[in-house]
Amino acid sequence: MRKLFLMTCLFLTAFTALAQERVSLRFLEKGTELPVAGAKVAYSPRQDMRGAIYAVTDKNGNVSLSLPPRGEGYYRITMLGYIPLSGKISAGEPSPVVYLEEDVLGLNEVVVTGSRTERPLKRSPVTTQVLSGQAMVDAGYANLQQALQQETPGLNIQKVGFGNEISMQGLDARHVLFLMDGERMTGDMAGNLDYERFNLHAIDRIEIVKGASSTLYGSRATGAVINLITKKSARPLSIDAGGRYGQMNERNYKNPSKKDFLYMFEKNADRPNFQAWTSGGFKAGAFTSQTDVWYSSSDAFYLYQAENDRKVYTKEANPFLPHDIVLESVLPRSPMGIEGTEHVSASQKLWYEPHENLTVLLYGSAFFMNTYDLIQDLNFSQSRDFTGGAKVTYRLKNRFTVTGSLHSDFYDRFKRHERIDERLKVYKSRIVQPRLSVTSDYFRGHSLIFGIEHITDDLTSDRFVNRVMTNRSLRETEYFLQDEWTVNRRWMLSAGIRTNFSRVFGFMGMPKLAVKYSPDERWSFRANASMGYRSPSIKELFFNWDHLGMFQIKGNEYLRPEKNNYVSFGTEYSNKRLFLSGTLYSNFFRNKIEGVWRIYDMQYNFEYANLESQQLLGSEVLARWRMTDNFTLNGTYSFVDVSKNKGIQVNTSSPHAATGSLEYRYRKPDYQLSAVFNASFMGGKEFDVQDRVFVEEEGRSYDAYFRCDLPAYTLCNVSVSQTFRNRIRLTIGVDNIFNYKPRTLGSGITMFNIPATPGTRAHIQLEFKLDDVKNVFNRKR
């Protein structure tokens, strides 16, 4: 009986195998006819794709599927950067070639930041802006700061005398959370990170979620979340490399000699504007590897003031004054030095995926940077950063997915002597963050996520107590729960809550509710209401730093956490050639932590304090129009109105900001040409600074606020790229083509609010796909 049973099983197995028929498909890119490798193909005998089996296209764009004899099957192919495509296949028919069309409007991008779960952009309940890493490189951007400023409405990143400053929708860097693959980073100075550490050539895409996202990401996510998602190789072997050379910003020393006492200072001040990078990955069986290395250097330069300082003490801000008082300096301000940098970064990620239900990720990165100022004190700054972590994801069929991760980031800063091999550590920052989350799609229409995470934040600096290295720490434990409910094809709801417990500030809870309504495939309407919070940072609590007598930053140990209520309403329209999006929002803050400028004994102080309340009202418009197959027009506009504090304009943001670009693309199988013209506009801005003024009519002095008035400006860039045989790309571009330079450095603190640009500068860039170049030459032989 047992033998009969075994023979029956063998017969059925053999019959089933014979009943299967292999069908091959080949996927090519429309226009270039290049193979689309690494695309995900789902196929099923049912048109609704239930019980689908998945496969991945090989390096030639081919995939082999199994179908019943004389039967029919259905497939759906998805690939980042392409419009998803569905089709029908039949056994016995010739193997078809399917052409995928580029997703120029980006509506089918898969996003994860807004909900921590993967879903197409147009189906996300949270408005998300996506920037393609390759598109930013093609546009000729030198770094992440330049790309974000030119592509994101209302976002301003500018280089100032000691680093970079960021502002977005009326909020500074303390309210904008930067993530790398969903993980936090440390090493910020006055709220700003070392943005030079981000390798633009290692980024797959950037997801930007504006508004209070504290439900999923906790403190600092009260204004926006910017998630940099790095590359993951999908090919058996992929190696890209390139270099970029740009004009120097300014030649400070013509012929430095080793005999000069300040030789190292002179050499470092005039380093070339040069970049080189390589990006390599492979996929072999269950293992996938991605390695990225980047080197960059830039020269230091001066900004020169063309107009004298002008202070206006308004009666609006100072009701006790008899009238507006205007003071203008006799001489222009001394030039302001902008630091040069030299840095190298390297990152490594390794995935192990033995089967579709288990993914193990190990990752690490290293960053080293020298910062060269124009102060002849025989010192320069050095920074280093190490990140590392592990993430394990296990999926139990369609019931739930468990993800456990441990992330760490260690950042140090040194003061290095130019002539002697010695350095002094002045800053040490550490964060360690374990996290456990569970997601489930088991309940029909519901996507649930529950998580717990703990963050340990330690900072040691000489800027707390009398320039003595002193340690300060914060500990927080957070829980979050969110449910995304797809009611039907028109309605979608997202609700969640996050609780936070801090030993210092106690317990807080932040709810969120988002609604999306789509009456058809073209229109979508979104509404969002959420509560955010932000605990005072270590710097805001304990900083006490005097910067060479120019200004002083003072913390406040009595600060309370700030809370905000964010409400937004938005609508979207899209078709094959046009995408329009508009959003109205309001952000109401209580106990908002704000840095206020004051002057005491002729020195400017930047002091942190809790404001009673502050209100931000704003709107945004985004448009992308594919006018023809070759031309695409992009435009954005942002408006924000920030309430005053007792008649004082504390916020330094510009009410108006806009970006625009025109792209031209010409594509043939072995040659592509692209040209991009982009422009960013930043409107004028006004804010008040505390000072002391003498009133002649009364013969006495008053503590009063003067109005800082900065003019609007526009920065325009152009870039032209040619790609030969789909392997070698040559790019020539010009930044700031209309040679804009700031005319005034302002009254002591304007250095934080002007674009640090030396004027028009050209660059040339060359990129190679090394593995493919080798194959091309082999074929030509």
Helix (H) or strand (E) holding 390: strand 379-396
Residues 531 and 650 in one domain: yes
Q: Name residue 129's beta-bridge partners.
A: 208
d(CA 457, CA 409): 10
- The span from the CA of 440 to the CA of 446, in Å, is 8
Q: At 85, is the secondary structure helix, strand, or coil?
A: strand
User: Does the pLDDT value for residue 777 go beyond 70?
Assistant: no
Instruction: Classify strands 551-554 and 603-626 as parallel, antiparallel or unpaired.
Output: parallel
What is the reported pLDDT for 755? 78
Lowest-confidence pick of 301-310, 483-492, 644-653? 644-653
For 527-576, what is each residue's pLDDT tens digit? 988 888 888 877 788 777 776 666 677 778 888 888 888 899 999 898 88
Output the CA angle 260-550-266, nearest 5 degrees. 15
> Has residue 431 been placed in a domain?
yes
Separation of alpha carbons 208 and 218, rounded Å: 16
Whether the predicted pLDDT of 757 surpasses 50: yes
- Using pLDDT thresholds of 50, 70 and 90, give the confidence band for residue 146: confident
Query: Does 329 fall in a domain?
Result: yes
The β-bridge partners of 661 are 634, 678
CA distance 307 to 638: 29
| CB neighbour class for 489 (10 Å; exposed up to 12, middle 13-18, buried from 19) | exposed
Q: How confident is the model at residue 18 (pLDDT cuts 50, 70, 90)?
A: very low
Backbone angles phi, psi at 223, to 5 degrees: -110, -45
Taking only the tens place, the pLDDT of each residue in 186-219 is 877 656 777 888 898 899 888 888 777 666 777 6
Rounded distance between C-alpha atoms, residue 530 and residue 585, angstroms: 11
Q: Residue 691, exposed/middle/buried by CB under 10 A (0-12, 13-18, 19+)?
A: buried
* Element holding 778 (H helix, E strand): helix 770-780
**pLDDT of 61 strictly over 50:** yes
Looking at the chain, how many residues does it have?
Answer: 781
Burial of 554 (0-12, 13-18, 19+ CB in 10 A): middle
pLDDT interval class at 11 (50, 70, 90): very low
Q: Beta-carbon neighbour count of residue 427 at 10 Å?
A: 19
For the segment 261-284, the average pLDDT, to the nearest whole number, is: 88
pLDDT computed for residue 277 by the predictor = 95
- What is residue 190's predicted lDDT score, i.e. its pLDDT? 57
What pLDDT band is residue 720 in, cutting at 50, 70 and 90?
very high
Task: Check residue 4 and give its pLDDT.
Answer: 47
Helix, strand, coil content of the chain in percent (nearest 5): 10, 60, 30
Does 37 reside within a domain? yes
pLDDT band at 577 (very low <50, low <70, confident <90, very high): confident
What average pLDDT score do residues 430-459 get?
A: 90
Token output for 509: 């809870």
For 306-371, the DSSP string reads: -S--EEEE-TTT-TTSSS-EEEE-SSPPPPEEE-EEEEEEEEEEEEEEEETTEEEEEEEEEEEEEE
Mean of the per-residue pLDDT values of the chain: 81
**Terminal CA-CA length for the chain:** 64
656's tokens = 């108006």
Whether residue 194 sits in one domain with residue 84: no
Residues 709, 681 contacting (CB under 8 angstroms): no
Q: DSSP label at 537?
A: P
CATH number at residue 218: 2.40.170.20
Of 13-27, 106-120, 613-627, minimum mean pLDDT range: 13-27
| Amino acid letter, residue 708 | C
- The answer to whether residues 127 and 173 belong to one domain is yes
Distance in angstroms (rounded) separating the CA atoms of residues 534 and 536: 6
pLDDT at residue 631 is higher than 90: yes
8 Å CB contact between 601 and 620: no
Q: Are 371 and 381 in contact (CB under 8 A)?
A: yes
Residue 17 confidence (pLDDT): 42
pLDDT at 382: 92
| 150 and 58 housed in the same domain | no
Residue 12 forms part of a structural domain: no
> Has residue 607 got a pLDDT over 60?
yes
Inform me whether the pLDDT recorded for 775 exceeds 60. Answer: no
Please give the C-alpha separations between residue 761 and each of 33, 76, 262, 639, in angstroms, as whole numbers. 36, 46, 28, 30
pLDDT reported for residue 191: 63
Residues 195 and 256 reside in one and the same domain: yes
CATH number of the domain bearing residue 55: 2.60.40.1120
Residue 167, in any domain of the structure: yes
* The last residue of a domain, from among 100, 130, 161: 100
From 71, 100, 129, the end of a domain falls on 100
pLDDT tens for each residue of 306-341: 777 778 888 888 888 888 888 887 777 778 888 889
Which of 73, 100, 127 is a domain's end point?
100
pLDDT of residue 399: 81
**For residue 709, what pLDDT band results from cuts at 50, 70 and 90?**
confident
Phi, psi for 288 (deg, rounded to 5) = -135, 135
The Cα 200–Cα 146 span in angstroms is 10
Residue 79 · residue 55 · CB < 8 Å = no
113 pLDDT more than 80? no
Q: Could you tell me what percent of the chain has a pLDDT over 90?
A: 21
Q: How confident is the model at residue 433 (pLDDT cuts 50, 70, 90)?
A: very high
Same domain, 115 and 95: no
Q: Which residues make beta-bridge pairs with 433?
A: 407
Please give the average per-residue pLDDT across 644-655, as a whole number. Answer: 78
What range does the domain containing 39 cover? 19-100
Question: Per-residue DSSP letters for 440-506?
Answer: E--STTEEEEEEEEEEEEEEEEEEEETTEEEEEEEEEEEEEEEEEEE-SSSEEEEEEEEEEEETTTE
Which DSSP state fits 536?
Answer: P
In a domain, residue 1? The reply is: no
For 465, other C-beta atoms within 10 Å of its C-beta total 12
Same-domain check for residues 548 and 628: yes
Does some domain include residue 534?
Answer: yes
| Domain co-membership, 465 together with 548 | yes
Q: For residue range 81-109, list pLDDT tens digits in order.
A: 777 778 777 766 666 788 877 776 666 66
**Domain match, 77 and 128 both:** no
Q: Which residue has the tokens 């913390």?
A: 555
d(CA 414, CA 423): 6
**Bridge partners, residue 631, by sequence:** 664
Determine which of 1-10, 404-413, 526-535 has the lowest per-residue pLDDT on average. Answer: 1-10
Report d(CA 139, CA 78) in Å as an integer.
25
Res 217: pLDDT: 76
**73 and 162 assigned to the same domain:** no
Kindly indicate the confidence band of residue 750, based on its pLDDT and cuts at 50, 70 and 90: low
Q: Is 502 exposed, middle or buried (0-12, 13-18, 19+ CB in 10 A)?
A: middle
**Distance in angstroms (rounded) separating the CA atoms of residues 371 and 388:** 24
Residue 673 in this model has a pLDDT that exceeds 50: yes
Q: Alpha-carbon distance 72 to 90, whole Å?
A: 5
Chain-centroid distance of CA 467 in Å reads 33
Same domain, 299 and 174: yes
Domain presence at residue 151: yes
User: Tokens representing 271?
Assistant: 């380093």
pLDDT at 290 over 50: yes
The torsion angles phi and psi of 751, rounded to 5 degrees, stand at -55, -20
Are residues 570 and 499 located together in one domain of the fold?
yes
The pLDDT of residue 562 is: 84
Burial of 388 (C-beta count, 10 Å sphere; 0-12/13-18/19+):
middle
Number of domains into which the chain is organized: 2
- Residue 209 carries which side chain, given as an amino acid letter? V
Distance, in Å, from the CA atom of 321 to the CA atom of 702, rounded to the nearest integer, reads 9
Distance CA(158)–CA(146), nearest Å, equals: 9
Residue 780: band (very low, low, confident or very high) from pLDDT cuts 50, 70, 90? very low
Taking only the tens place, the pLDDT of each residue in 215-243 is: 677 767 777 888 888 988 877 888 899 99
Q: Which residue has the higher pLDDT, 717 or 213?
A: 717
